Amino acid sequence: MNGVNMAHFALYSSALLVSITGIVFTLIQQRTDKLQNKIYLALISIIALNSVTQMINAIIQPMILTSDGAFFVYRVCDWLYFLFHAALCPIFFVYVSVVCGMGKFARLRKNLLFGALFIITELLTILNPFLHWVYDYSGDRVFVRRWGEAMIYIAAVFYLGISFFRLLSSWSALTAKRRLALIYFFIIVIAGVVMQLVNIDLRTELFAEALGLLGVMTSIETEDDRIDIDTGVYNRKALQNDLSTYIVNKRPVGVICIKITNLELLERTGSFDSSDILTTVVAAFLRTMVPRYCIYSTSPGTFILTETTGSEERAGKIAHIVSRRFDRPWHFGDTELLLNAVVMTSQAPERIKSAGDAFYMADSPIPADLDKKILSGRDLDYLMRRAAVESALARGLEEGGFEVYYQPTYTLKDRRLYGAEALIRLHDRELGNIYPDEFIPIAEQNGLIDDIDDFVLREVCGFIKSGDPSSLGIKSINVNLSVIECMQPGFVRHINAVTEEYGIDKSAINFEITESLAASSYELLSKVVKALKSDGFRFSMDDYGTGYSNMRAIFMLDFDVVKIDKSILWSAEESELGRIILESSVHMIRQMHRKILVEGVETEKQIEMLTALSVDYLQGYYFSRPVPKKELLALIRG
Ligand code: C2E
Ligand code: CA
Ligand code: CA
């Protein structure tokens, strides 16, 4: 290799190796379907091609003076180099735009403006063999620059400049990793170009660009932390990033949320792994509706699709087709499954103003009274109410808006006062009075239930400590416990600590828990009940007859009292079947040697019916509604 500039050759071949590494890894990870991936592949391929032409020229440089053929190849390589290299910065600009979430450029005029310089430089290069405006060769076949090359440099600086500007304007939409990778790319490319400008023998430009793009690959093009391992679709983090990017850029997208509502039930009855079904059949179906990279799963059984043209009509259509698909069974192996799903559609950025809004829609349970299968527009107002209640809960805890009411209970035999149930109320300055049926489930989901139940327990302890209840004949006060809370570690210790702080008799507190538990949790719950009972507390089972739990498991828990739900009482009045259910419930509970309380007693007639069945205790509006502490005392004294 006589006369070959080995330093040039080494740098060009290094650039080639690095860019080939980038291409190979992009291909083996199959990252080729997104627009962003395609543009990346174009960029790194340009570097590879440029490296090849420059390597060839480094080799044949010593021969061009003596051989016309070599000189021809040399000129072709130079020409190809300029042709591709002039496209690098404009394509990089498009790449940054896509990474920053601009998508396709909406307005043609803007496209033309941004594209004009690119088109001019490419035309100059294409015509250079005839016009020689970009570069030329002197009589002794030495490369000479012409004004056109300066133009290409100016264009490159322009495109890098607007790329940088775009990066800054989408700064908040980018993750730290992406910002760093792009900034690093700018720095290393500028360094490479400047070194080569200072000394033409330092051919660092291509190598620097290849390295910069490799960095971009490992941090921007990678998908590992964006994919849910169970279903192979994008995860919450990916949705968070992508939606934030769309929203920061004010780019309209349709957000379609699919919630499968019977997954838990199916898992409890059948012995299959739901994630398999979701991956193989449901996700595969969704891929026929939108591209792979527009499908996310925020939790098992909940999918979000993004409709990136932003057309509300298209989003509505997709929702319709998806919803219709769920009317038909899904085939999985040789089983056939019917999945129930509710499909919600909303638009960003008008209604979905942040990624958090989309998560809120995906995570909030759908109210039981909404019987539609597709929810959009005003149907989703419940989310606003829910958000308002959540703020009211936080406000209530902060500003003391919670109040404990008491509803007395009576013995059936002589209709004497027996006890009272503590029931929480929330008075909010914005929403007015809010009732526990609405806010307890929300508090259970967002974790505020701990503070609320703690507040109730402390109120009740204080009330008992005042001595008023016992002096009026109230033996114990019932406190509702959220089952979710009972399962938390340290719960038993906490309850004991609070009551001991007040120095009250533990048997004066009777905890109520509801039997709406998955069978798997009984073991833990029974341990909690056993521990608290051995400490002296009493226990009641609440809402008997509303759940679908395992009877044996229920009676293995050592309850003092079983509270028959008001719905059982009311339907006993209405139908023969209802009466049978009430009667047999009473017989069964009696045989288990538990005391029976019936709630929801509103009329004398109901009391007659219950007298015939000889239950133990009664509670209901017939005697009193839940009332504030003062009123309860006045009521009893009166
Ligand atoms: P629950 O434990 O079944 O409470 C009985 C509910 O029935 C109360 O509703 C009570 O006001 C109502 N009620 C009682 N007698 C009658 C009657 O004769 N007719 C009618 N129509 N209703 C009657 P409330 O106070 O709205 O509480 C609703 C639910 O919220 C409670 O159901 C309980 O599950 C939950 N809850 C209430 N306070 C607390 C609390 O401090 N902590 C927890 N975790 N849950 C609570
Ligand atoms: Ca209760
Ligand atoms: Ca109840």
Residue 202 lies in a domain: yes
In 10 A of CB 554, how many CB atoms?
17
Query: Helix 522-534 and helix 491-502: axis angle, to 10°?
Result: 20
pLDDT digit string (tens) for 65-99? 999 999 999 999 999 999 999 999 999 999 998 88
The CATH number of whichever domain residue 356 belongs to comes to 3.30.70.270
Q: Do 382 and 458 lie in a common domain?
A: no
Q: What mean pLDDT, rounded, does the chain reach?
A: 91
Q: Please say which residue of 386, 417, 445 terminates a domain.
A: 386
The average pLDDT across 608-631 equals 96
Burial class (CB in 10 A: 0-12, 13-18, 19+), 403: middle
Residue 396 lies in a domain: no
**What pLDDT is recorded for position 271?**
58
Q: Do 451 and 304 lie in a common domain?
A: no
Q: Do 216 and 274 lie in a common domain?
A: no
Of 199, 577, 565, 622, which is closest to residue 409 (Cα–Cα)? 622
Q: Of 194-198, 231-235, 341-345, 469-473, give the range with the top mean pLDDT.
A: 341-345
CA–centroid distance, 610 to ligand 1, in Å, is 21
Percent of residues, the chain, with pLDDT higher than 70: 95
Q: Do 500 and 632 lie in a common domain?
A: yes
485 ligand 1 Cβ < 6 A: no
Q: Please say which residue of 359, 386, 413 terminates a domain.
A: 386
Find the distance separating the first CA and the last CA of the chain, reported in whole Å: 114
**What pLDDT is recorded for position 632?**
96
Of 31, 32, 54, which is closest to residue 210 (Cα–Cα)? 54
**Is a pLDDT exceeding 60 seen at residue 37?**
yes
The CATH number of whichever domain residue 70 belongs to comes to 1.20.1070.10
437 ligand 1 Cβ < 6 A: yes
Q: Do 159 and 265 lie in a common domain?
A: no
442 ligand 1 Cβ < 6 A: no
CA–centroid distance, 382 to ligand 2, in Å, is 26
**What pLDDT is recorded for position 345?**
97
Indicate the helix (H) or strand (E) that contains 542: strand 538-544
How far apart CA 218 and CA 282 sit, in angstroms, is 31
Q: Do 458 and 327 lie in a common domain?
A: no
Residue 391 lies in a domain: no
349 ligand 1 Cβ < 6 A: no
Residue 569 lies in a domain: yes
Residue 482 phi/psi, 5° resolution?
-85, 130
The CATH number of whichever domain residue 538 belongs to comes to 3.20.20.450
Runs of H (alpha helix) within 100-175:
108-131, 147-169
**What pLDDT is recorded for position 155?**
93
> Ligand 1: which of 389, 393, 397, 440 to mutate, judged by most atoms within 8 Å of the beta carbon?
440
Residue 477 lies in a domain: yes
Of 372, 352, 340, which is closest to residue 305 (Cα–Cα)? 352
Report whether 121 contacts 190 (CB < 8 A): no
The tokens for 175 are: 């993750």
Q: Do 210 and 254 lie in a common domain?
A: no
Burial class (CB in 10 A: 0-12, 13-18, 19+), 148: buried
Report whether 327 contacts 337 (CB < 8 A): no
Q: Do 408 and 310 lie in a common domain?
A: no
- Name the pLDDT band for 558 (thresholds 50, 70, 90): confident
Q: Do 479 and 557 lie in a common domain?
A: yes
CA–centroid distance, 543 to ligand 3, in Å, is 4
The average pLDDT across 170-189 equals 89
Q: What is the 3-state secondary structure (H, E, C) of 1-41?
A: CCCCCHHHHHHHHHHHHHHHHHHHHHHHCCCCCCHHHHHHH
Residue 547 lies in a domain: yes
**What pLDDT is recorded for position 406?**
97
Residue 636 phi/psi, 5° resolution?
-70, -40
Residue 138 lies in a domain: yes
String of DSSP letters for 194-261: HHHHH-TT---HHHHHHHHHHHHIIIII--GGGB-TTTSSB-HHHHHHHHHHHHHTT--EEEEEEEES
Between the alpha carbon of residue 493 and those of residues 332, 383, 397, 534, the distances in Å are 47, 36, 23, 13
**Is a pLDDT exceeding 80 seen at residue 111?**
no
The average pLDDT across 492-504 equals 96
How far apart CA 406 and CA 101 sit, in angstroms, is 56
How far apart CA 19 and CA 22 sit, in angstroms, is 5
Q: Which domain holds residue 149?
A: 6-222
Count each helix (H run) and each strand (E run) in the chain, helices first. 25, 19
Residue 393 lies in a domain: no
Q: Do 218 and 232 lie in a common domain?
A: no
| DSSP assignment letter at 365 | P
Number of domains the chain is built from: 3
Q: Please say which residue of 202, 222, 242 terminates a domain.
A: 222
Ligand nearest to the CA of 409: 1
Q: Do 266 and 345 lie in a common domain?
A: yes
Q: Do 296 and 351 lie in a common domain?
A: yes
pLDDT digit string (tens) for 419-445? 999 999 999 999 999 999 999 999 998
* Residues having C-beta closer than 5 Å to ion ligand 3: 543, 565
301 ligand 1 Cβ < 6 A: no
Q: Name which of 20-29, 555-564, 596-605 the model is least confident about.
A: 555-564
